[in-house]
Structure 1
């Protein structure tokens, strides 16, 4: 099973310059290879392969000598990422690859091999950049596994884990270096522990929970529990407006403007971190307390076109929450059941099945005219989502499972 572990790193001024050069270099190679591939196919109907693009790197290094100061494998990885983008496009899993722009704040490059981690002093070595501080706030592998199964080297009494020495075990995969708009640097280490995915855990109606996400409350569970919506963006709007005004007042290109932009970016980073922390804790709690989770397919892209609700929908982060639920279910052998977006989960009475067609968004509670049951709109929807999902599973097999 492959897992990625993300850690923060603290490069010095010289290393920051080298990192920025790598960001720019990989972006330059990606854009140049995209231009060559489009040109050759449009003019001569020739499909340029990864080998052709990598061979072209030699010519580019002669034309642009500054590319020689960068890790060659990172530049080759940019070509590989481009061809992966084309593959996803032709398989219907993504958009057509476009040029990368520095203004998009997409700063990252990959290091496939030859990185080292000093477990004693908490430092990481990257080719062409050197050693820098890393905060290993959690273990990516068990300490006993590292001591007994992997090859380590000792330098001046310090234990160093070298990816090159452990290449035969095929555990350490690609390392990705990234920078956020707030100026924080991170590395993401992809680990393949070769542990097979767990067998799906058996579940029944009692061990299954239905979830209805919303705006007034973040989520309502079929157990009757209501999760309040923290509204991280909404609570920080006044501060964001003040910081944005500070940016607008500064002269373009000045140092003060750069400082104001950095303050604004850091506050946006804070909001993102708060949202991620909340979603991680909630998704882990739901996966731990149930064997199967029922959710509703949502057209979030279409919903945000409503300008009255776009900000609130973006703030709540439904898509990211469902993504966290899904991959954590795969980790622990749990099941995700999904129902269609056009199922009338809110309008159905979960007791007698009566359908209230005139139910509008402003009605949060309603009484069933047939059985006289008083319903909370969100809890009733979560119970119906659970019932519909289990019914679909019994009639159509286990095609809707996450694992």
Structure 2
């Protein structure tokens, strides 16, 4: 058995209260990302290569006393913003990407990530349960296998104002046996004539 990671994307239909909560989550995730990116930019060059994710997560706890509105959203989504920043910095130091940019409030596509902890994310035939959001109706275009384990979920709003959820799962798939049969392909053939 081989382990395979897959993502299932669905359109969701949140009610007004859930849309308000999601807008708060988008804003808080953006704020946390920008806050810690500013801290990294203000550090001197030699200390910049070591990004302490755990120190930032501990500081996030103390930030909630100054910024009380951070308590209103899912705490895992705020921690995920720090992990996204860490990933961006690692890619920068490996020279894979440019230095991370601040996230703009005016950007038309907004998102936040939450992880599956102790079964807080559930999927039925017609609804998805997200932490602090509750049950949301969705368009089930492709069923998730029962054997799949949900790892994390990305909630996204596109420029048209439609909401989507991307459920990332880990599932075991059977490896196919080798048949030791060969096939021949002629890449120069443009069309088949009968």
Q: 1:23 to 1:203 in 2, by over 3 A?
A: farther
**TM superposition score normalised by structure 2:** 0.84
1:178 maps to 2:156: yes
What does 1:2-401 correspond to in 2, within 5 Å? 2-42=5-45, 45=47, 47-113=50-116, 114-119=120-125, 122-141=126-145, 146=146, 171-195=149-173, 206-207=184-185, 209=187, 222-224=188-190
Displacement of 1:92 in angstroms is 2.6
Structure number, greater radius of gyration = 1
Displacement of 1:200 in angstroms is 8.9
Contact residue 51 and residue 86 of structure 2 kept, 8 A: no
The one-character-per-residue Cα deviations of 1:137-189 (angstroms, maximum 9, x if unpaired) are 11121xxxx3xx68xxxxxxxxxxxxxxxxxxxx2111110011011101111
In structure 2, what is the Cα distance between the partners aligned to 1:70 and 1:41?
A: 32
Question: SS of the counterpart of 1:133?
Answer: strand
Structure 1 or 2: more strand by fraction: 2
1:351: which partner in 2? Answer: none
In structure 1, what is the Cα distance between the partners aligned to 2:177 and 2:35?
A: 45
The runs of 5 or more residues in structure 2 that have no matched partner are: none
Structure 1 or 2: more helix by fraction: 1
In structure 2, what is the Cα distance between the partners aligned to 1:183 and 1:21?
A: 15
The runs of 5 or more residues in structure 1 that have no matched partner are: 151-170, 210-221, 226-403
Displacement of 1:201 in angstroms is 9.1
Count of matched residue pairs: 184
Q: CA RMSD in A?
A: 2.5
Contact residue 40 and residue 48 of structure 1 kept, 8 A: no
Contact residue 175 and residue 189 of structure 1 kept, 8 A: yes
Q: 1:200 to 1:181 in 2, by over 3 A?
A: farther
1:310: which partner in 2? Answer: none
- Once the two structures are overlaid, the 10-residue window that deviates more, 188-197 or 2-11, is 188-197
